[in-house]
Structure 1
Amino acid sequence: MWQKLWQPGQREILFNKLDNEAEHWDVIIAGGGITGAGIAREAARRGLKTLLLERHDFAWGTSSRSSKMIHGGLRYIAAGDIKTTLHSVHERERLMDEAPGLVDKMAFMMSHYRGKIPGPMMFNILLRIYDFFAGRRYRKYYSLKETKWVCPYINEKNLIGGTQFTDAITDDARLVMRVLREAQKDGAAVINYIGVKHLLKHDDRVVGVEVEDALTGQRRALKAKVVINATGVWVDELRGEIAREKKIRPARGSHIVVPFWRLPVAQSLTTFHPNDGRPIFIYPWEGRTVIGTTDLDEKTVENVEASMTREEMDYLIAVTRYQFPLAQLEERDILSSWAGVRPLIASGALNPSKEKRNHSVWDDNGLVSVSGGKLTTFRLIALDVLSTARKYLCEYESRTNSKAIFSRFTPENGLFSGLPSYLKKRLCGYYGKDSESLVSGAKCSELNLIPGTHSTWAELRWVAANEAVVHLDDLLLRRTRLGLLLAKGGMIYEDKIYTVCHEALGWTEKKWTIEKVRYQKIWKQHYSIPA
């Protein structure tokens, strides 16, 4: 029922419906990133009346700007954080098994250089532990000749070989949307562009929230048995109404995207920056090559998009030229960039790279807040949050902790069965049960790939019509990734994108012009080459 209210023209009905449910929410979640989505999914499946609110768009913050990796955290073993690695590896294996096409195995290569750390023997010891946690052997050593073959253009000076291991890759924003759809299926109400403005309190106990529609300015007071603050790097903002302590250390990480033909990598290469020794990944994603990430303290966290600086851009180009000198990558090769701010839990470490990636949960008399953690472990974070919130709720089914996150689905549509296997896998992974209606609603030739991407025009049309798209940046930067993968933020296909928005969203030419100007300003300031 709530799923239908994501379609165009349903927004007013959706907002007004909140009043009808106002006295009955068990859980209200502030934050529509992967943490909030995971909590909504686990709460709804337990029969709790669940409402998730996001003041911007779903996955607008950190959850669309990560490195897209579902990984166990190999370096945490070396740091002695065995527990985080163990849990992360188990969750990685679970996600690859449950959502093929959305979370897929990717090979990683660590190059070894004479006299440099890590050497093959030391690295193999770490990988033995890593593979033991996974219950299977992924590691493999490559000779000098083999390493040069699988990593063309690699810096050969003092190279002695490489070691391959396995983690996984995803589209983080699509992961959020898939989890939200699962939550909706079990009855959760999930709404974007409605933010929590204030907490409602009675005798120092949090009993609900005051919310505001970002599009109309309308406000509502909504009651709940427990309010969950899953706003990530902004968690101290809402929690500050009750507790004065500041726990979050914001850290900015930036990436650049270049055409695959300029830097062809068949797997992720882990290298160390020649300036400071930080590990950097150079990896294939959605038909392009990505280089990242930086790791810098973000001094202030405002309610605006993060941006990469020129210093970060030069830093990432420098490591690429060092590791792939023959490629001679230049600034003009960059298609796009993105920057995200990670919510690290402050412990006093000298720099953000040294902070642990554990999550923390705080209970402030009816407000349960959570922050930190990894994309990989969102399910475990959700279970910890609900365990803390349980004392505010009536009894609910608790024997679901090990249940699958994603529903199994086998499409029966005849048109779907005729698609190539790689596309069937992708559509099932990205859209689950919705993949059937996506294919059946596709127009002629819309199931062809958009040049330069792994996406189809049918996906653009379906998400515009069914996934609560409000602005053009929702469509091009998060529901799809055309804004990151194509030149000019995807506007090289302006006519086709306009047609989809006109037909699926009902946008007039005037509305399109307003959205186009807005989008191009956002893309140029936050996703392009920094000025």
Structure 2
Amino acid sequence: MRRRKALEALAERRWDLLVIGGGITGLGVAVEAARRGLSAAVIEACDFAAGTSSRSTKLIHGGFRYLKEREFRLVRESVAERMALMRQYPHLVRPAWFLFPVYRGDPDPLWLLRLGLWLYDRFAGPALGPYRHRRLSAEEALREEPWLAPAELLGAAMYVDAVTDDARLVMAVLREAAAAGVVAVNYSAAVGFLREASGRIVGVVARDRAAEAGAPASGGSGEAGAEASDAGKKAGPAAAGRRERGGGPSNGAADRSDGAPRIEIWARTVLNAAGPWADAVRRLDDPAAAPLLFLTKGVHVVVPRRRLPLRQAVVLRGPDRRLMFAVPRDDFVYAGTTDTPYAGDLVRPRAEAEEVTYILRALRQTFPEAGVGPDDVVATWAGIRPLVAPSGSVADPSAVSRDYQLFAAPSGLVTVGGGKLTAFRAMARHIVDALFPTTRRKKALSGGEAPDFAVEGGAPGAAFARRAALAIGEGRAASGGGGPGGAGERVPAAGAFGPEDRIEAFAPDGREPADETEGWAAWRARLLFCFSPEEAEAILEDAAREAAAEAGGAVGAAFSFRARVLRAVARAAVREQARTLEDVLFRRYPEALFSPDNGLGVAEAVNDALAEALGLTPEAARRSMDGFRAAVRAMHAWRKEGGEGPG
């Protein structure tokens, strides 16, 4: 649905459910509601997944560490959802081996690790098949991962979880939402509420921010509620357009009396799923609303895989013994995350020098021979966790529950806080059950049961076994060398993303592929990390058409393989409501995070293709380019803070 028609559709009816927030939670709830026969709409203040939903550790996992916090229900539910998501989104949720080393002095001894993994596997049930955890001696662990620090290593275990591209997962759910009849519009911020005479909320006043998209001010990304946050800080929520209306919907015409397009969207139920901005949205309803959330920041760093050639994901500990991950992805390894209280800018969170230093020290502590340092960091990202605030003071942010809760205001506004990416479908079922109890499924869950998952395509075990056989099957050869000073022998691979035998798209020095066949083959493999086979082929066909036109003289500039493909990605991204270069190269395909130059080398060519597809004015195209450059600069701003070197 075209954006203009979608905006008109928002105002043409009274919706059963209107969701504020276009992240994984909000879109997941809308899909679940639509599948139960309810009419649902979603508005998002920035781009879909621009906040927490694209800034996670990019794992679909049960949350093994939460067993220590005795959150057994959360872990059981997450493990069940992990199995279901691997079946429903096989191109996006891929099983991967994780190696968990234990050193002398670690807070969790080997016996406790093995007990926890036994329980973890039990939660997965028979669907896990032969891919249950394995115990390793210290010698076996070093054979599996030669870059591990050998000193004081007591042993290890290997277990299977899953990796994903979190932003692309949101886009997949967005497509499901559209297919189910949900109307979802990004760059549409909630700035006030519609009310009955009694004060009950019966809708939202939304501001269309599309004209602002691409401005540097929005370059740092923000999810639903960024506009609300600004309103609360500047003029107070009462000035944001609160209106009292009774009866049914008005004609819904956009209000442009102050020069800014506003739309009235009527709904029987309004859900606030704005993530870190949920409290700001609540203050639009009640300026005196006490905070519900406890926000923490998680930072990740990206380094070239040639500097840290891991064979599988590795669990590592920070200098303070906090658990983190180092995860291979294509030609890179990303590591994180930190977990610190946060009260800063929600729209543009970024890594700070001390946070990057913390992660680098953890990498050097676990992989000392690699010697990874600040100069090796090619990208960073930071996300804000909207956790439900616990009672009392918080000594350890990592101990705060990741579970989700619903909060109903006297006005009828319902807010969701907390939650995990992995459990978004289970959250959606529970939320729709609570909001619309008459639509509950007949099959109720018993107290300790994992949620039922209704996904087409056979039993979970069969689907998982098929996927696992491709991704982590025994006997598959890995690319890459051996350990420090090793001979580079080929070993069974346990890595996560994509075919191990693919052709590299670019040599380490950045030169172009030797011939066109090499280029297309390489980019097909790269695209399959993020897109379904059908989507990837459509993008490559589009790029090939442009290449053919260029050869025939119809295109003025000669584009590299990389630029051709990413220009095609930009044209495809328009169908997912991408409006800026940042939308394309951070979230539709994460070239900004996983390339040596953060996508700057092709940025202008890709921005030109996006501007042409959207019909942007030269000024809007310039704002799009400037916004992307600002976002890339923000990723590297920590360098100016004097980050600590190796130590």
TM-score, with length taken from structure 1:
0.87
CA 1:185–1:403 in structure 2 vs 1: closer, same or farther (change >3 Å)? Answer: farther
Match for 1:284: what amino acid?
P
Change (3 A) 1:199 1:502: closer
Instruction: For 1:76, give the aligned amino acid.
Output: Y
Q: Is the 8 A contact 1:179 1:406 kept in 2?
A: no
User: Counterpart in 1 of 2:471?
Assistant: none
Partner of 2:544: 443
SS of the aligned residue for 1:211 comes to strand
> For structure 1, which segment, 152-161 or 473-482, has the greater mean C-alpha deviation from structure 2 after superposition?
152-161
The aligned amino acid for 2:194 is L
- Which residue, 348, 357, 360 being the options, matches 1:317? 360
Extract unaligned runs of 5+ from structure 2.
Answer: 212-259, 444-450, 459-519, 548-559, 641-647
Query: Structure 2 CA distance, aligned partners of 1:336 and 1:77?
Result: 32
Corresponding residue for residue 256 of structure 1: 301
Distance in 1, matches of 2:523 and 2:441, equals: 37
Cα distance 1:116–1:303, how it changes in 2: closer, same or farther (>3 A)?
closer
1:340 aligned residue = 383
State the alpha-carbon separation in 1 of the partners of residues 639 and 442 from structure 2. 50
Per-residue deviation, 1:303? 4.6
Q: Which moved more, 1:161-170 or 1:114-123?
A: 114-123
Deviates more, 1:220-229 or 1:238-247: 238-247
Partner residue of 1:386?
A: 432
Given the alignment of the two structures, is residue 16 of structure 1 paired with residue 5 of structure 2, yes or no? Answer: no
* Distance in 1 (alpha carbons) for counterparts of 2:366 and 2:529: 36
1:479 corresponds to: 588
Superposition map of 1:51-450 within 5 A: 51-135=41-125, 136=128, 138-202=132-196, 203-216=198-211, 217-240=260-283, 241-242=285-286, 244-274=289-319, 276-300=320-344, 302-347=345-390, 348=392, 349-364=394-409, 365-390=411-436, 396=439, 398=441, 402=452, 404=454, 427=528, 430-431=531-532, 434=535, 437-438=538-539, 440-443=541-544
Q: Displacement of 1:374 after TM fit?
A: 0.6
Letter in 1 for 2:10: L
The percentage of aligned residue pairs carrying the same residue is 32
Q: Which is further off, 506-515 or 137-146?
A: 506-515
Structure 2 match to 1:414: none
> Could you tell me how far apart the structure 2 residues matched to 1:405 and 1:187 are?
19
The equivalent of 2:478 in structure 1 is none
Q: Name the SS of the counterpart of 2:27 in structure 1.
A: helix
Shift of 1:522: 2.0
Mapped partners of 2:374, 2:18: distance in 1 = 45
| Aligned-partner Cα distance in 2 for 1:407–1:379 | 17
Residues 44-89 of structure 1 deviation map (CA, whole Å, 9 limit, x = unaligned): 1122221100001000110000000111111111221111111010
Flag the structure with higher strand content: 1
Q: Tell me if the contact between 2:22 and 2:48 (Cα under 8 Å) persists in the aligned partners.
A: yes
Structure 1: 5+ residue stretches without partners: 6-10, 409-418
CA distance in 2, matches of 1:513, 1:462: 18
Shifted more, 432-441 versus 513-522: the winner is 432-441
Task: Report the secondary structure of 1:375's partner residue.
Answer: coil
**Residues 149 and 63 (structure 1), Cα distance of their counterparts in 2 relative to 1, 3 Å cut:** same
The one-letter amino acid of 1:179's match is: V
User: Hey, what's the Cα distance between the residues in 2 that align with 1:360 and 1:176?
Assistant: 21
Is 377-386 or 457-466 further displaced after alignment? 457-466
* Other structure's SS at 1:179 match: helix
**Per-residue deviation at 1:287?**
3.1
Deviation at 1:405, TM superposition (A): 6.0
Q: Is the 8 A contact 1:152 1:264 kept in 2?
A: no
Q: Aligned residues, how many? A: 503
Any idea what SS the aligned residue of 2:163 has?
Answer: strand
Give the corresponding residue for 1:514: 623
Q: Does 1:524 align with 2:633?
A: yes
For the Cα contact (< 8 Å) 2:296–2:387, is it kept in 1? Answer: yes
TM-score, scaled relative to structure 2:
0.72
Q: Deviations over 1:94-121 (max 9, x none)?
A: 1112211200111111112234343322
